[in-house]
C-alpha cells in the first residue's frame, strides 16, 4: 500500500484527485496480484453476505447455541417502526440491522468479519440501512466497503483490531471508525472529512474493555454492535457538518494503542473481568457449565 496512516491516505487522494475507495481498490489489486475487477467482485460477494445476514437476523427469533441471546434484532426492528421510538426510523433501522448480523454470528450463521466477528454488525447496519434510505446501488455500497477497508487497514497496522489485544475499543471502536469514514465518502464527503469522522468516532470508544460473558461473543457484544451503528451515523453527520477531530485521527489511533497496551489482561477477552465477572455474569457461566454437563451425559446415554 502506498499509505500507512490516514494523513498519507488523504494526501494521496488529494494528489491523485481520487476518492479513498479507488486508491484502496487500486493498491489492493497491486498488492494481491489480482485485477481490480477481481478484487471488486470479491467485495461484491462480501456485501451480498452482509445483506443476507441482515435479512436473516431481522426476521429470526432463533436463539444462539448457548441460548443466551437471539430475537432482539426482530424486537428492536418492530419497536423502532412505531411512533414512540426515540430514534428516527432509519437510525433505528441501522441499530436493528447491526443487532441482526451480530445475532446471526452468535448462532453460527455466515457473516463477514468487519474487522472481526465480534464487531461484524456495525458496517452492515450502517450500510444496508443507508442504502435503503438513500436508494444507493449495490455498486456504490461496494465502493464504500473499499473505503472502510482502507481505514481498517490503517488501524490494524498502527494499533489493534482485536479485543484480545486491545480491548473492545479495538473491535467495536475500529468498526465504528470504519463505518463512519465510509459513510462520509458514500454521502459525497471529501477524504479529509472521512478521516475526521474516523477520529471523531474512535474517541468515543477509547477505553472500552472486552468482557464477554462466558467468553462467548454475545453479551455484551451484540448490543455494542447496535450502539456502534448509531455512533457511526452520528460521527459521519458531525464530520459532514464540518466538525473536525481536533486531535488528528492518526493520533487517536495511537491513543487506542496506548490505552489497549495498558489494559489489564482481565479486560482483554479473557472473560476474567468486567461484565463477565459480575454476579449475574458468573451465574450465567455456572448455568452454561451445568447445561453442557447435562448435554454430555445425555449424549453418552444414546
Residues that bind ligand SF4 (CB under 6 A): 118-119, 163, 168, 171-172, 210-212, 217, 220-221, 224, 269
Full DSSP string of 2-54: --SSHHHHHHHHHHHT--HHHHHHHHHHHHHSS-HHHHHHHHHHHHHHHHHHH
Question: ∠ CA 261-262-268 to the nearest 5 degrees?
Answer: 70
91 vs 169, beta carbon nearer ligand SF4: 169
Catalogue the E-assigned strands of 49-182: none
Q: How far is the CB of 212 from ligand SF4 (least distance, A)?
A: 4
Catalogue the E-assigned strands of 180-266: none
Full DSSP string of 265-294: GGGBTSSSSGGGGSHHHHHHHHHHHHHHHH
Q: How far is the CB of 276 from ligand SF4 (least distance, A)?
A: 9
51 vs 268, beta carbon nearer ligand SF4: 268
Cβ contact 142:43 at 8 Å: yes
Q: How far is the CB of 105 from ligand SF4 (least distance, A)?
A: 10
Q: How far is the CB of 172 from ligand SF4 (least distance, A)?
A: 5
Separate counts of helices (H) and strands (E) for the chain:
14, 0
152 vs 220, beta carbon nearer ligand SF4: 220
Q: How far is the CB of 210 from ligand SF4 (least distance, A)?
A: 3
196 vs 224, beta carbon nearer ligand SF4: 224
| φ, ψ of residue 295 in degrees (nearest 5) | -60, -45
195 vs 276, beta carbon nearer ligand SF4: 276
92 vs 281, beta carbon nearer ligand SF4: 281
Q: Report the length, in residues, of the chain.
A: 302
Report the C-alpha gap between 242 and 49 in whole angstroms.
Answer: 34
Q: How far is the CB of 89 from ligand SF4 (least distance, A)?
A: 26
Amino acid at each position: 500500500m502506498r499509505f500507512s496512516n490516514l494523513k498519507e491516505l488523504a494526501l494521496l487522494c488529494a494528489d491523485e484527485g481520487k476518492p479513498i475507495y479507488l486508491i484502496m481498490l487500486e493498491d489492493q489489486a497491486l498488492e494481491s496480484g489480482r485485477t481490480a475487477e477481481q478484487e471488486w467482485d470479491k467485495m461484491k460477494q462480501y456485501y451480498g453476505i452482509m445483506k443476507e445476514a441482515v435479512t436473516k437476523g431481522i426476521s429470526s427469533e432463533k436463539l444462539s447455541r448457548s441460548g443466551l441471546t437471539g430475537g432482539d434484532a426482530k424486537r428492536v426492528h418492530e419497536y423502532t417502526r412505531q411512533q414512540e421510538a426515540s430514534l428516527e426510523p432509519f437510525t433505528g433501522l441501522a441499530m436493528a440491522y447491526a443487532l441482526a448480523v451480530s445475532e446471526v454470528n452468535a448462532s453460527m450463521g455466515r457473516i463477514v468479519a468487519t474487522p472481526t466477528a465480534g464487531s461484524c454488525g456495525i458496517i452492515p447496519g450502517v450500510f444496508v440501512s443507508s442504502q435503503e434510505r438513500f436508494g444507493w446501488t449495490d455498486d456504490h455500497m461496494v465502493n464504500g466497503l473499499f473505503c472502510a477497508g482502507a481505514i481498517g487497514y490503517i488501524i490494524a497496522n498502527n494499533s489493534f483490531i482485536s479485543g484480545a489485544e486491545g480491548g473492545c475499543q479495538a473491535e467495536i471502536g475500529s468498526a465504528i471508525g470504519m463505518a463512519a469514514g465510509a459513510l462520509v465518502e458514500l454521502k459525497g464527503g471529501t477524504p479529509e472529512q472521512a478521516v475526521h469522522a474516523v477520529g471523531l468516532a474512535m474517541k468515543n470508544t477509547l477505553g472500552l474493555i472486552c468482557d464477554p460473558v462466558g467468553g462467548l461473543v454475545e453479551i455484551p457484544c451484540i448490543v455494542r454492535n447496535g450502539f456502534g451503528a448509531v455512533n457511526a451515523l452520528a460521527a459521519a453527520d458531525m464530520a459532514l457538518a464540518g466538525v473536525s477531530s481536533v486531535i488528528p485521527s492518526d493520533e487517536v489511533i495511537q491513543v487506542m494503542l496506548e490505552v489497549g497496551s495498558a489494559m489489564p489482561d482481565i479486560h482483554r477477552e479473557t472473560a476474567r473481568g468486567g461484565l463477565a465477572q459480575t454476579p449475574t455474569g458468573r451465574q450465567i457461566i455456572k448455568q452454561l457449565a451445568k447445561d453442557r454437563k447435562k448435554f454430555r451425559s445425555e449424549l453418552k446415554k444414546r
